[in-house]
Amino acid sequence: MQVEADDIRRAFEEDEFFPAFQPLVELRTGQLTEFEILARWQHKDRGAIFPDAFIPQVEASGLINRLTRTMLDKAFAAAPLLNSGLHLSVNLSPVQLLDPELPAHIVACAERGRFPLDRLTIEVTESALLGELSRAKAVALELKALGCRLALDDFGTGYSSLKHLQALPFDKLKVDRSFVRSMTESRESRKIVAAEVGLGQSLGMMTVAEGVETQAQANMLLWLGCDLGQGWLYGKPAPAEDLPRMIAVAPRTRASMLPAPMDGNSIVSVDSLPAQRLAQLQAVYDGAPVGLCFLDRNLRYVSLNRRLAEMNGAPASAHLGRTVAEVIPRLFPLVERFIRRALRGEPVSGVELQRPPDGGGTQTVMLSYQPVRDEAGEVLGVSVAVMDVSEHRRTEEALHESETHHRHMMQLNPHVPWVLDATGAVTEASPRWEALTGQPMEQALGHGWIRMLHPDDVEPTSQAIRDSLQTGQPIDVQYRVRRRDGEWKWMRSRGSPRFGPSGEIVSIYGVVEEVHDQKQLGEDLQSCRAELQAVLEAVPVGVILADAEDGRVVMVNKQARKLLGDAFVPGQDLAEHGWQGPTDIHGRPQPANENPLSRAIFTGESSGPRMLLYQRADGGVARLSVSGGPIYGEDEQLIGAVMIVWEMAAAESIEPQ
């Protein structure tokens, strides 16, 4: 559209330009923080004209400073309608940032309108600054010295974003609305938004998402760690008369930390639970003898339970919104890579860690990191579980030395235990090898088992054994095995040498296990319906909940079903059917009602964690850590009980530094 310079001059004379105000809100709380001033032209013949249609012509006619002055004067005149905490931001054309007179113009407006400049943000786009950065920088620094803040507008659409980001002292970064618009559908846009937000944060800038139109976008932005949102969801640009109305709007559009609702097929649907159930879930989360938390993509604590706060030695309030590095600086370097792996979508479990790494304590914890995904499958954050396994480790160490223990495990273990002699020949292996591969035991002994390996894996595996026999170091090797059904299956074999009286290796004891099918877990997580449910279903810890009123099981989470099959099912009356089959570590059977859940529900006592062996449906034996405790409602009366079951996986050990 061709707009004549004369027409623009006339429009100034006849006062046709005025500001519209659009709210910016804090995504986390829904709190209004600021209004952006957007120019409008109410043309006497043509009606409302939008800035994209007239800004270029105003620039060309040399009147752009006059437009800014008009916007600021009118906006400052309306400022008494704002309360004193609210900020304003104004758009400048990039050329204006090259004008050494600019700061003086802005100061003059602020003085006329009695508006403090530390409540003003100047927004510039990145388009035309290249080449003149040193001049722009001088003006920008002068504005900052006056108290103004500087925002980089339309970030991601220009051609030299990073250069500008670095060269000018920006406080804020505004993610362009084109990315926000498509982020809920397009993976690429989502990645761009995530990267921009991450970049802004790592440079210590506030991040703002433009063009937020839906709650789904707002939620996703919050998960990505974005600070502020602006868009039709919170309000369209409106004239000054509307400011009081916009300020009065309650912050009901606040983004939610819950993954967007999905029609899942999970057992617990928090929506459909009566209020008391919800309280139970909250109590489980809080009272579980396992430390639980959820971290967002920026490794900040979004939620955590009481147990974890205790373990970290700081109240929950000292965690929320802060990063893991800030809260546990000494442990962070040890665990960072596991969190990052989970953020890349890979569940990590069975990480064992001594903590505190430099203190006198002997606490051993087992850690697990599970990615949590949104409905589009993107990783939103990590669900973390931390369990104190010091007691188990001590027991285990005591047992470790005993050969009978090894024999015992040999018959019971779901893994395939094996023994090599000093020459590297297999002398004993569990019959499970035959079940798995179809290779008869007598053929597997010696070096025969190698024939079942994938040809590419034979040499690396043999080398790993030779190395171990030579150096005395443990073996840890992965290889593919041809299963009975002809499929290749990845297996992991680990073992450690036993030494004779003069230090020579006599044998190597070890186990083979299937490399855990971790994909499944990640996919299951997508069915999460709400944060609590997400945590309960996603933690690699079995959770079973019973109701005090009728002594029945009300919830069995996924991991509990996986570990215990249908030993516990919703509706089961604990007074009639306890838990059949678990034995203690010496193989002594436990009475059906001597389980921590029944105990807690009928006596109100906490118990465990204890280590139990449990025969699984697949014939294997799981080593479980089991504990339980009562749940009390707000009025201190027993409302239910929880049992936590944790599989003592072979640990992936990390050494304290």
Residues in touch with ligand C2E (CB under 6 A): 22, 38-39, 50-52, 55, 67, 71, 91-93, 123, 153-154, 177, 210-213, 231-232, 237
Rg of the Cα atoms in the chain? 32
Pick what 296 binds: Ca ion, ligand C2E, none; C-beta below 5 to 8 Å, kind-dependent.
none
Q: Which two tokens stand for residue 552?
A: 């029945």
Nearest approach, Cβ of residue 38 and ligand C2E (Å): 4
Which of residues 39 and 109 has its CB atom nearest to ligand C2E in the complex? 39
Nearest approach, Cβ of residue 226 and Ca ion (Å): 14
Interface positions with Ca ion (CB under 5 A)? 91, 123, 153-154, 210
Residue 539: phi and psi, rounded to 5, are: -65, 145
Pairing state between β 652-653 and 348-355 = parallel
Which of residues 237 and 381 has its CB atom nearest to ligand C2E in the complex? 237
Pick what 92 binds: ligand C2E, Ca ion, none; C-beta below 5 to 8 Å, kind-dependent.
ligand C2E
Which of residues 46 and 451 has its CB atom nearest to ligand C2E in the complex? 46
Pick what 52 binds: ligand C2E, Ca ion, none; C-beta below 5 to 8 Å, kind-dependent.
ligand C2E
Nearest approach, Cβ of residue 210 and ligand C2E (Å): 6
Nearest approach, Cβ of residue 485 and ligand C2E (Å): 55
Which of residues 209 and 512 has its CB atom nearest to Ca ion in the complex? 209
**Cα 484 to the center of its chain, rounded Å:** 39
Residues 338 and 10: their CA atoms lie apart, in Å, by: 65
Residue whose structure tokens are 């919050």: 222
Question: What sections of 475-579 are H helices per DSSP?
Answer: 518-524, 531-538, 558-564
Identify the DSSP state of 567.
Answer: S
Pick what 572 binds: Ca ion, ligand C2E, none; C-beta below 5 to 8 Å, kind-dependent.
none
Residues 195 and 179: their CA atoms lie apart, in Å, by: 11
Residues 586 and 604: their CA atoms lie apart, in Å, by: 28
Which of residues 154 and 537 has its CB atom nearest to ligand C2E in the complex? 154
Which of residues 39 and 481 has its CB atom nearest to ligand C2E in the complex? 39
The residue number with the shortest CB distance to ligand C2E is 231
Which of residues 101 and 584 has its CB atom nearest to ligand C2E in the complex? 101
Which of residues 109 and 621 has its CB atom nearest to Ca ion in the complex? 109
Pick what 238 binds: ligand C2E, Ca ion, none; C-beta below 5 to 8 Å, kind-dependent.
none
Residue 644, beta-bridge partner list: 543, 627
Pick what 266 binds: Ca ion, ligand C2E, none; C-beta below 5 to 8 Å, kind-dependent.
none
Residues 56 and 48: their CA atoms lie apart, in Å, by: 17
525: nearest Cα among 542, 540, 537, 541: 537
Pick what 635 binds: ligand C2E, Ca ion, none; C-beta below 5 to 8 Å, kind-dependent.
none
Pick what 93 binds: ligand C2E, Ca ion, none; C-beta below 5 to 8 Å, kind-dependent.
ligand C2E
Residues 528 and 545: their CA atoms lie apart, in Å, by: 18
Which of residues 126 and 647 has its CB atom nearest to ligand C2E in the complex? 126
Q: Which two tokens stand for residue 285?
A: 């989360």
Pick what 391 binds: Ca ion, ligand C2E, none; C-beta below 5 to 8 Å, kind-dependent.
none
Pick what 364 binds: Ca ion, ligand C2E, none; C-beta below 5 to 8 Å, kind-dependent.
none
Pick what 3 binds: ligand C2E, Ca ion, none; C-beta below 5 to 8 Å, kind-dependent.
none
Nearest approach, Cβ of residue 208 and Ca ion (Å): 9
Q: Are 373 and 385 in contact (CB under 8 A)?
A: no
Nearest approach, Cβ of residue 84 and ligand C2E (Å): 24
Q: Which two tokens stand for residue 137?
A: 């920088």
Nearest approach, Cβ of residue 220 and Ca ion (Å): 19
Nearest approach, Cβ of residue 173 and ligand C2E (Å): 13
Which of residues 39 and 621 has its CB atom nearest to Ca ion in the complex? 39
Nearest approach, Cβ of residue 68 and ligand C2E (Å): 6
Taking CA atoms, 469 is separated from 83, 316, 449, 472, in Å, by 76, 49, 18, 6
Which of residues 55 and 422 has its CB atom nearest to ligand C2E in the complex? 55
Residues 630 and 637: their CA atoms lie apart, in Å, by: 10
Which of residues 26 and 213 has its CB atom nearest to ligand C2E in the complex? 213
Residues 173 and 153: their CA atoms lie apart, in Å, by: 7
Q: Are 431 and 647 in contact (CB under 8 A)?
A: no
Nearest approach, Cβ of residue 48 and ligand C2E (Å): 10
Residues 72 and 243: their CA atoms lie apart, in Å, by: 16
Taking CA atoms, 431 is separated from 374, 441, 458, in Å, by 43, 7, 22
Q: Are 460 and 477 in contact (CB under 8 A)?
A: yes
Nearest approach, Cβ of residue 171 and ligand C2E (Å): 16
Cα(first)–Cα(last) distance of the chain, in Å?
67
The secondary structure of 113-141 as a DSSP string is HT--GGGEEEEEESTT-TT-HHHHHHHHH
Taking CA atoms, 652 is separated from 308, 417, 494, 649, in Å, by 21, 18, 11, 9
Q: Which two tokens stand for residue 111?
A: 């003085």
Nearest approach, Cβ of residue 46 and ligand C2E (Å): 16
Pick what 416 binds: ligand C2E, Ca ion, none; C-beta below 5 to 8 Å, kind-dependent.
none
Torsion of the alpha carbons at 467, 468, 474 and 477, rounded to the nearest 10 = 50
